[in-house]
Amino acid sequence: MEINSLKFILFVAVVIIAYIITPKKYKWVTLLLSSYIFYWLNSNQLIIFMLITTLSIYLLSLLLGKIDKRLELEIKDKEKEEKKKLKEKAKTKKKLVVLIALIINLGILGVIKYFNFFSGNINTLLNLFNLNIQIPSMQFILPLGISYYTLQGLSYVIDVYRQKIDPDKNLGRVALFLAFFPQIVEGPIGRYKELATKLYEPHKIEFQNIKSGSLLVLWGFFQKMVIADRLAILVDTVFGNYTQYSGLIIICAILFYTFQIYADFAGCINIVRGVAEIFGITLAENFKRPFFSKSVQEFWRRWNITLGTWLKEYVFYSVAFSKWYLHLTTKLKEKLKKHAHLSKTILALCPLFFVWFSNGLWHGASWKYIFYGMYYFVIMSIGMLLEPVFKKTINFLKININSKKYKIWQMLRTFILVNIGMLIFRATNISSAFTILKSMFNFSNFGEILNGKMLSLGLDKGEFTIVIISLIIMLIVDFLQEKNYHVREEIGKRNVLIRWTIYYVGIFSIIIFGIYGKDYNPSSFIYGQF
């Protein structure tokens, strides 16, 4: 049961009815049971991994809470030095508890998702040294949403460790936080402090929420089925036989893939957020018009926001404020007293490296994804290191950085860099990515884009027209939102005739122009595999 299927819509309808008739006190229980039924229908016995994560996160967080409470009692009426020793002792115990949580949950994720990747690379090294030892490969089925609920669970434990939240003594509520059915597929990755109360408080199913949430769901279906799934036809054709194409056809395929993955992922998140909104629950925003970004850094603050926030909070800061790194920081600052910018930049690069290495590896067990992460690390590092040079150049050329032309140039430059990143992401491996990149500049067959060859890639003239019009609509909506125009709210203010005209146009656009039917695979969400 995928979230872009009719079965999912019917499932949500049943859950809404069950939620309405459930007494206020137990409404959250209905959501919990519905979430576990949804997970069982999608993963069957693989639900065991979700249960292991839930129990480990719950029990270890309670243990962290007990250590904190015991410490409060022990340090009462104690001298300063003795308090310090007791705090250090408690901190050591807490670190051990967090380490156990990391080993259990990252261990499960690592074995299921990365075992064959690491074993394959180890076997390659053993062969280089002529050692006749081989680690056998294993066949694993990836449990639904494991990459998402694992990060969400670890954020809960670490926040308890950092005393940002108190451990919840109710196992069911922790279970709901990890398993809430709309977001289990592709996120967004929630934080307990922000999401817990919304999940557990009883909400009345109001017409306004149904109207607003359904409109967001409708928009998500449009992005996924009309735009992403149609673009996928051409993209798969070109990337599946990339040696047969070059020049403008390759460029079009890369551009189309960038829009495909955005419409696919954003569409899924909009469906998820819309369903949650019907229940009165607001999930974190995961996209903020990324194509209007003026730098790569800004792009990643707008794209998959919750993953970026997680990596910043639990990877970047964990490295930046670790003892060994603070010690290194002190030494480096002393040696580079006269080069403040260089010192500051170098100190930021080490935590940034771990962020982008983790980002790449999180996406998949392949060197391609690690290379993808390193590509963005290098781009950002160059930007940070050369920032003074860029500023001097701008001043020398007397460029008005506030002008529209300069901002358009920044967006265009960022878009080009992002498309190169998307090429790496979509290619089968690093070697094919370089081959495709090289073939982009081969314009010997320039006429192919005009002689009808583009129409042999899976899309006819009519479908190209649908794609272009749909992309324009999506970009117009993003532009309006960028200008703080609240599209859904404005639609809601219109009279009944205009509102329902928009609704019917949206519904029939999906029915008429959407990609579905006998050969349609509704499980093809790109980020669902991560």
Residue at which a domain ends, from 155, 178, 204: 204
Q: Which two tokens stand for residue 90?
A: 């408690």
**Residue 311: inside a domain:** no
Indicate if the pLDDT at residue 450 is higher than 80: no
Q: Are residues 160 and 117 in the same domain?
A: yes
Q: Are residues 437 and 475 in the same domain?
A: yes
d(CA 138, CA 116): 6
**Residue 215: inside a domain:** yes
> In degrees, to the nearest 5, what angle opens at C-alpha 367 toward C-alphas 365 and 370?
85
d(CA 50, CA 105): 10
> In degrees, to the nearest 5, what angle opens at C-alpha 330 toward C-alphas 326 and 335?
145
Band of residue 325 on the pLDDT scale cut at 50, 70, 90: confident
User: Per-residue pLDDT tens for 143-183?
Assistant: 888 999 999 999 999 999 999 999 999 999 999 999 999 99
Indicate if the pLDDT at residue 505 is higher than 80: yes
Q: Count the residues in the chain.
A: 530
Indicate if the pLDDT at residue 520 is higher than 70: no
Which of 45-49, 389-393, 491-495 holds the top average pLDDT? 45-49
Q: Are residues 187 and 58 in the same domain?
A: yes
What's residue 415's pLDDT?
A: 95
Q: Are residues 195 and 214 in the same domain?
A: no
What's residue 523's pLDDT?
A: 44
**Residue 271: inside a domain:** yes
Average pLDDT over residues 203-224: 91
Strands (DSSP E) along 89-234, which ranges? none
Q: Alpha-carbon torsion 312, 315, 317, 319, what sign?
A: negative
Q: Are residues 32 and 100 in the same domain?
A: yes
**Three-class SS state of 499:** helix
Q: Which two tokens stand for residue 145?
A: 């949403």
**Residue 297: inside a domain:** no
| Structural domains counted in the chain | 2
Q: Are residues 189 and 215 in the same domain?
A: no
Nearest Cα to Cα of residue 474 among 222, 211, 233: 222
Q: Are residues 117 and 259 in the same domain?
A: no
Nearest Cα to Cα of residue 212 among 280, 304, 305: 280
Q: Give me the percent of the chain exceeding a pLDDT of 70.
A: 94
Q: Which residue has the higher pLDDT, 441 or 9?
A: 9
Strands (DSSP E) along 65-202, which ranges? none
Q: Are residues 36 and 174 in the same domain?
A: yes
Domain that includes residue 21, residue range: 6-204
Q: Are residues 52 and 110 in the same domain?
A: yes
Nearest Cα to Cα of residue 510 among 224, 211, 210, 216: 224
**Residue 40: inside a domain:** yes
Provide the β-strand partners of residue 319. none
Average pLDDT over residues 504-517: 82
d(CA 243, CA 3): 35
Band of residue 447 on the pLDDT scale cut at 50, 70, 90: low
**Three-class SS state of 443:** coil
Band of residue 131 on the pLDDT scale cut at 50, 70, 90: confident
Residue at which a domain ends, from 204, 231, 256: 204
CB contact at 8 A, 219 and 270? yes
d(CA 114, CA 99): 20
Q: Are residues 520 and 466 in the same domain?
A: yes
**Residue 503: inside a domain:** yes
**Residue 350: inside a domain:** no
Q: Are residues 129 and 194 in the same domain?
A: yes
DSSP string of 350-395?
Answer: HHHHHHHHHHHHHH-SSHHHHHHHHHHHHHHHHHHHTHHHHHHHHH
Q: Are residues 164 and 194 in the same domain?
A: yes
**Residue 267: inside a domain:** yes
Q: What is the pTM of this model?
A: 0.90
d(CA 363, CA 529): 8
CB contact at 8 A, 310 and 155? yes
The answer for 187, left when phi > 0, alpha when psi is -120 to 50, beta otherwise, is: left
Burial of 114 (0-12, 13-18, 19+ CB in 10 A): middle
d(CA 214, CA 221): 10
> In degrees, to the nearest 5, what angle opens at C-alpha 379 toward C-alphas 375 and 384?
145
Please give the DSSP secondary-structure letter assigned to residue 143. P
Q: Alpha-carbon torsion 77, 83, 85, 91, what sign?
A: positive
Tokens 């449009």 belong to 222
Residue at which a domain ends, from 204, 234, 252: 204
Mean pLDDT rounded to a whole number for the chain: 89
